[in-house]
Amino acid sequence: MKHTPIFKDLILVGGGHSHALVLRKWAMNPLPGVRVTLISPQVMTPYSGMLPGLIAGHYSFTETHIDLVKLSLWGNIRFIQDCVTAIDVESNTLSLKNRPDIEFDIVSIDTGSTPSQQVEGAAEFSTPVKPISNFYQHWVSIQEKAKQGKVKSLAVVGGGAGSVEVIMAIAFKLKPVNSAIDYHLITASSDILPGYNAPVIRRVKQQFEKQQITIHSATRVEKLSEGAIYGQNAEVILADEIIWCTQASGAGWLKQSQLECDDAGFMKVRQTLQSLQYNHVFAAGDVANMVANPRPKAGVYAVRQAETLFHNLRAALLKQRLIDYKPQDGFLSLLALGEKKAVGAKSLFSFSGDWVWRWKNAIDVKFMNQFHQLPILSMPAVTELNSQLIDEEDKLEQNDPLKRCNACGAKVGASVLQQVLNEVFGPSYYQPQDAVKISDQAEIIYQSVDALKTPMQDVWLFGKIAVNHALSDLYAMNLKPESAQILISLPYAGQNVQKRQLKVLMQGISTQLDSLQCRFLGGHTSEASELSVGLVVNGIQQQNLFNKQGLKPGDKIVLSKPLGTGVILAAAMQAECDGDTFNQAINSMLQSNAQAAKLLSQLNVQACTDVSGFGLLGHLQELCLASRCTVKLNLNTIPLLPGAEALAAKNIKSSLYFQNHKAFVQQNWPEPITQQPRFDLLFDPQTSGGLLAGISVKVYADLDNSFHQKFYTVGEVIANDGLASQIRIEES
């Protein structure tokens, strides 16, 4: 497939309704030459319209949430799980909580809102209903406390539609497990549901009476303490659980930026959804304050804004005319009543009943099915670059990757290298040399080399994983990493984008090398059709050296990491992998083998290797051949990453699986074993896999639980009876 070079970075901050829809639209109609990045602290983003149903137990967590990782993998979008802490719109930079800054050309913000907890004691003694992901975790604990009789009174502060739906859903869910709980809704307004017509308010109050919910109207909360709410009218309401659902506010980092915001911290936008001051900054959803046509914070507006936002983001990148978002004057409002009934309102009309709930349910499910049932993407109809995306300095370059030079002509420019290395490692770091001195130390130097093509869009994480993968060969021999050189192939892109890509990648690489006390010596960069990183790593012998020979009958075979990275990465490429499964694989690959090697060294291990491309059986076979022994594996004790076995059951396989399996075609294992999905994972190629070692019977018998929490026992060495089979597989 022809690689399209990247010239612009579009970053979406927040996984709100508008952005989720924009990502779906973008995936189905991408703009060649633009890299899209989504930044969100949550992997699963909730659909607010189904929150009452989630609380009431009508829906599962999965049914009410959009999997942002799966959506991003499907749409070829870079996903970064992190919190934005600051934005500099002059330098086009976002600061993140847990990683280096990231640059953008166009940015859009859809971070939603959070109930303002400025009242004394509110932050300490109440639970805000947003962000919903945090609230839901607390809601699970409330249910458990209610079952144990530890909740005698529960209060919701706020009188709007969200507050009303939340307390009715809570009362409906908790009544069957604890009918003695008192419920309170506290609002500063003279009545609940301001802005709704009288029939709707009347119907909701009837439901309140049915569920025995007490309304405290015209009660402005002055302060909170543990278990108590104090009103300005001197009223004191006792509550074991207090849920805060009042007027919301925007993110603090927005208010502290150069962007013009209102008093509540919401970004002021034009009808085009652009900032009042900056054409390259957009906002949508609750975080946007539409100055010309103010509207209440409601999900219906965020959904309707998506079409305009999608058009205008593309138009801004292509320097085309933007269109205005024209919000509707009114909208259909459907309020869930806890049980499977709802009340609806549109202007002066109202209606209620179980049929209204079924109507609301159909609307909500249809919306969520857009993300739960992602279609197969076809090849883009347009792959040609629009010249408006290319900066003037880049127009002088040959922009067709197929016509770019090879050999030394494919090197990354010296100016890009100089800028990146000086920014990552400090001023004046860039001092070109034809060769480097490895070490002044006299110890024996061992050297290994490894390389990876990137399996993910997040190159900061990829840089860290590439380091772990390469250094694993040193740890497999109990060597101390001393230094490393890097070989990077970058996809051709505009100079600014290429510099950003290389900088973020090098930040990931250097961070991981530093954490493992391994020096960066330099390296080489070039252009290629896709991103890859190779490392030449040097290690020094410190204590006993691990080898592949040395296994003896009776030795226990242990493994430091579960299997499954290969099938999970393959599934991610096919949009068959959910976000939680993908993230757990990433976390496994981010785990260095340094501590595992240190522990094995303390146990005087002789035979060890790491599990990587040849899979568990391939690398175990190397140990068996070197030691001239046979190993009996217990299939049921092989550790697997969550979700890996389910993906294997779908017959998803990494491309190297078939070669790994072919190497064992002569083996005669029992059919009941070979037909199991977890058997296929024995051939699964591992990226940054664990260490595989043999431990003598005597040493193994003295190991405590702390060891077994770090290593999995997967088999045992038995005497070689002269048969060709080096590995036997059993189920017990």
Residues 516 and 572 in one domain: no
Together in a domain, 450 and 501: yes
pLDDT category at 246 given cuts 50, 70, 90 is confident
Does residue 345 sit in the same domain as residue 415? no
Strand, coil or helix: what is 330? coil
Is the CA virtual torsion 426, 429, 435, 440 positive or negative? negative
Selected residue with higher pLDDT from 393 and 207: 207
Q: For residues 91 and 204, is the Cβ–Cβ distance under 8 A?
A: no
Tally Cβ neighbours within 10 Å of residue 426.
Answer: 9
| Domain stop point among 514, 541, 568 | 541
Both 587 and 628 in one domain: the answer is yes
| Domain assignment of residue 399, yes or no | no
* Same domain membership, residue 577 and residue 496: no
Which domain covers residue 710, as residue numbers? 556-730
Query: For the chain, how big is the Rg over CA atoms in Å?
Result: 29
Q: Are 702 and 586 in the same domain?
A: yes
Residues 199 and 356 sit within 8 Å (Cβ to Cβ):
no
With a CB cutoff of 8 Å and minimum separation 6, the contacts of 674 are none
- Please report, for the domain that includes residue 218, its CATH number: 3.50.50.60
Distance (Å, whole) CA 4 – CA 595: 41
Domain boundary (511, 541, 571) is at: 541
The answer to whether residue 156 sits within a structural domain is yes
Q: Which residues of 238-265 are buried (b: 16+ CB within 10 A; e: fewer)?
A: ebbbbbbbbebbbbebbbebebebeeeb
Q: With pLDDT > 70 as the criterion, what percentage of the chain qualifies?
A: 91
Residue 394, in any domain of the structure = no
Q: Classify residue 546: in a domain, yes or no.
A: no
Assess whether 75 and 94 both reside in one domain: yes
Q: Is 551 contained in some domain?
A: no
503 lies in some domain = yes
Residues 99 and 164 in one domain: no
pLDDT score, position 70? 96
Q: What is the mean pLDDT of the chain?
A: 90
Q: 713 and 572: one domain?
A: yes
pLDDT(117) > 90 = no
Model confidence at 393: pLDDT above 80? no
Q: What is the CATH number of the domain that holds 475?
A: 3.30.1330.10
pLDDT on residue 423 = 76
pLDDT over 60 at 494, yes or no: yes
Residue 396: band (very low, low, confident or very high) from pLDDT cuts 50, 70, 90: low
CA atoms within 13 A on the CB side of 541: 10
**CA–CA distance, 243 with 232 (Å, rounded to integer):** 19
Same domain, 622 and 480: no
What is the crossing angle of helices 68-75 and 579-589, to 10°? Answer: 80
Residue with tokens 């908790």: 174
Spatial neighbors of 274 by CB under 8 A, at least 6 apart, are 281, 282, 312, 316, 322
What type of residue is 694? G
Using the 8-state DSSP alphabet, how is residue 218 labeled?
T
What domain count does the chain have? 4
Is 2 a residue whose pLDDT tops 90? no
Q: What is the pLDDT of residues 172-214, one digit of tens each?
A: 999 999 999 999 999 999 999 998 899 999 999 999 999 999 9
Same domain, 284 and 176: no
Is residue 55 situated within a structural domain? yes
Average pLDDT over residues 301-313: 92
Predicted confidence at residue 403, as pLDDT, reads: 47
Distance CA 29, CA 35 (A): 13
Q: Is the dihedral of CA 163, 169, 171, 173 positive or negative?
A: negative
Burial 109-131 (b: 16+ CB within 10 A, else e): bbbbbbbbbebebbeebbbbbbb
Contact residues for 150 (Cβ-Cβ < 8 A; gap 6+) = 240
Q: What is the pLDDT of residue 404?
A: 47
Domain membership flag for residue 519: yes
Say which amino acid occupies 72.
S
Residues 239 and 255 both lie in one domain: no
pLDDT given at position 621: 92
Reported as half-sphere exposure (CB side, CA atoms, 13 A), residue 52 has a value of 25
Higher pLDDT, 453 or 429: 453
Average pLDDT over residues 105-114: 92
Q: Smallest Cα–Cα separation from 18: which of 251, 273, 245? A: 273
CB-based contacts of 693, cutoff 8 Å, min separation 6: 546, 557, 558, 600, 605, 607, 608, 609
Among 84-93, 218-227, 241-250, the minimum mean pLDDT is found in 241-250
Q: Which of the pair, 41 or 134, is modelled with greater confidence?
A: 41
Of 297-306, 401-410, 463-472, 505-514, which range is least confident?
A: 401-410
| More confident position, 350 or 507 | 507
pLDDT at res. 441? 65
Last residue of a domain, one of 479, 513, 541: 541
Q: Which of 253, 341, 345, 252 is nearest to 298 (CA)?
A: 345
- Region of poorest pLDDT, from 411-420, 604-613, 615-624: 411-420
In order of 11, 30, 157, 269, 289, the CA distances from 266 in angstroms are 19, 29, 22, 9, 6
* CATH classification of the domain holding 588: 3.90.650.10
